[in-house]
Amino acid sequence: MIKHFLSLEWKQFKRASYFQKGLAIKILLFLAVLYFGGIAIFMGGVMFFALEKTFPDIDPIVMVNNFLIYWILFELMIRYFMQQLPVMNIKPLMIIPITRNSVIHYLLGKTILSFFNFISLLIFLPFSIVLLFQGYPVVNVVLWFFAIMCINMSINFLNFLINKSNTVFYGIASLVIIIVVLRYFNIFDITEPVGVLFNGLYNQPYLAIIPFLIMIGLYKVNFDFIRKGFYLDGAISKKTKEVHATDLSWMNRFGNLAPFLKNDIKMITRNARPKQVVMMSFFFLFYGLFFFTQSVYIEKMPYILAFAAMFITGGFLLSFGQLVPSWDSEYYKMLMSQNIPYRQYLESKWYLMVVAVAVSFILSTPYIYFGWDIYLMIAAGALFNIGLNTFITLFGGALNRVPIELNTKAKAFSNTNGFNPTQLLIALPKMLLPILIFFIPYHFISFNAGLIALALTGALGIVFKNFFLNKIENIYQKGKYKTVAAFSEKK
């Protein structure tokens, strides 16, 4: 039966009209898996010696167990935002003689093959092998590793519940926030008591049965959860939902652009995929903390700060903007059949990105803490985003003809729905240009000269806004019917 399910999914993928695009994406994802998998193996191989050198008075296995709780919390977070849950078209299977249990077991089995399950394996397997070569007890190490893998799979099944149940999600999120807040204010550090539990798994190997039973229990809970709604009438019945209208009359001040802007706001607030992307763009605001807290970037490589400054205010532009016009793919044919100028459509997208950059800049005000030079760098990056990156993004949209399903439940980061490899090429100038524009004046003149050059580039883009929009409009007009045809294809 498993072989039959695999055959059906392969035929669906191979026979689809988007096979070549999907294949290119799979190849890119495979290369990414090889890269991050190699990093995980390296980390696992050197972790013992690094801990031994850094903390010579503490056994490396004890140190790992003490901080294992933070790895678990990190896994929960990264899985929730990035792990793609398995999807299978079950409606045709409901009316043929295949047991529900077989389909559900297959769906849950697919979650085991997720790359996120192999990250822990690739880290802790080399670490365990090093422990064995260092003379640690074989039974203790093997059963400790077994327990860690059971915990890893438990996180996998827990993530399935978190994604399917808001109650579970809010419960886990509240627990994580409480742990972080208590640790931050030095009220309670969960490291030591939880470390005792994980060290117990190593010192008393028979306790490995506990994580194993937890894993089996979570699998059973997931199985029952899916089976409860596994009915044909439940899958096709219409749900009645009360609709709350949003008053957007204040946007009428934008004149002819108001209908487009209102449509975008409604699309974002009413659909799953754009809402996820907008939420994720908020986290770009914290990107500067990776750079502005490191003296090596400030003292020796300040030109890298231009890249960070652009990211801080460009989250919406880089995540939401790069998928213009794919956001409108489900009704693009109707939109293009109306008697409306293409220029107004593009200009509304430009204003939407400009407002998002401005809001991000206001929210970045706390970066003044790192000094006025840093804050002025962020301001220059915001001007660059408004005056140049917005136009580069719109230009890239003319080459993006991959449709998007607005209400898909896929993750904002890992979902390749709407992804086009061309976007990677278009993203390069958006990321490299601010570094280059800042570096040349900075290297030959001064830091302030680099700031002025970066800000001036953005200001010139705003001055020549009409010129850029006219050129981009001509490109969209030439590819209009190709875009309509591409968006009409259904996966």
What is the rounded average pLDDT of the residues 315-343? 81
Confidence of residue 315 (pLDDT cuts 50, 70, 90): confident
* Total-model pTM: 0.59
Q: CA-to-CA distance for 103 and 119, rounded, in angstroms? A: 27
Q: Each residue of 387-439: pLDDT tens digit?
A: 998 998 888 888 777 777 776 544 444 444 444 555 666 777 888 888 888 88
285-291 average pLDDT score: 80
Write down the pLDDT at residue 414.
Answer: 43
pLDDT at 456 over 50: yes
Q: What is the pLDDT of residues 32-87, one digit of tens each?
A: 778 878 888 888 888 889 888 888 888 889 888 888 888 888 787 777 766 666 55
Nearest Cα to 391, choosing from 435, 429, 338?
429
Secondary structure (DSSP) of 306-327:
HHHHHHHH-HHHHHTGGGTTGG
Give strand ranges (E) for 172-222.
none
Counting residues of the chain whose pLDDT is more than 90, the rounded percentage is 12
**Amino acid 150: pLDDT:** 92
How many CB atoms sit inside 10 A of residue 448's CB? Answer: 12
Whether residue 204 is predicted with pLDDT greater than 80 in this model: the reply is yes
**pLDDT, averaged across the chain:** 78
For the chain, give percent helix, strand, coil, nearest 5: 80, 0, 20
Q: Which residues contact 212 (CB under 8 A, 6 or more apart)?
A: 146, 147, 150
351 has pLDDT over 70: yes
First-to-last alpha carbon distance for the chain, in angstroms, is 25
Phi, psi of 294 (to 5 degrees): -105, 115
Radius of gyration, alpha carbons of the chain: 26
User: 263-267, 303-307, 485-489: which has the minimum mean pLDDT?
Assistant: 485-489
C-alpha dihedral sign at 92, 98, 100, 106: negative
Q: Quick: pLDDT tens for 366-376.
A: 888 888 888 89
Higher pLDDT: 273 or 120? It is 120
The pLDDT score that the predictor gives to residue 93 is 63
pLDDT at 214: 92
Q: How confident is the model at residue 301 (pLDDT cuts 50, 70, 90)?
A: confident
Q: Is the pLDDT of residue 237 over 50?
A: no
Q: Rounded mean pLDDT of 356-372? A: 89
| CA–CA distance, 136 with 411 (Å, rounded to integer) | 41
- Taking CA atoms, 389 is separated from 146, 214, 366, 454, 469, in Å, by 49, 49, 24, 12, 13
- Region 130-143 average pLDDT: 91
